[in-house]
Amino acid sequence: MHQTRASDFDQFRIPTDLGPRPSASWYNSLFVPALASPDEVLHTQQRVTNMAKRCELCGKGPVVGRNISHAHNVTPRRFEPNLQRVRALVNGGIRRLRVCTRCLRSGKVVKAA
């Protein structure tokens, strides 16, 4: 039976002298386009604020489930949180928030007058 030597696997060894590792910001810059004008910056900020159906305080979001008919036909469905747009006091200023009704009832939000 043939015995393997360490020199048999030298061709498969990964070189360790590749130099310094690039930073994460350099790596991420390959995928994130640079923004040129203030209009583009404003557009991306608007896109961030219009998030999915999620409460901005507690993070409650949609949950998936199933409808079951009388004939026992099963179809998928989503249970959406009851979100309301509220003018609220945040750090001394007034901001519009999308908040679920549970947070409204429990008093986590101070409504602006």
**CATH code of the domain covering residue 81:** 2.30.170.40
Q: Which residues of the chain have pLDDT under 70?
A: 1-51
What is residue 59's predicted lDDT score, i.e. its pLDDT? 92
Residue 42 has phi, psi (to 5 degrees) of: -60, -40
Q: What's residue 47's pLDDT?
A: 44
pTM to 2 decimal places: 0.51
For residue 2, being part of any structural domain is answered with no
Q: Is residue 76 part of a domain?
A: yes
Site of tokens 């409204």: 104
Distances (CA, A) of 68 to 73, 78, 91: 6, 13, 46
User: Is residue 36, in this structure, part of any structural domain at all?
Assistant: no
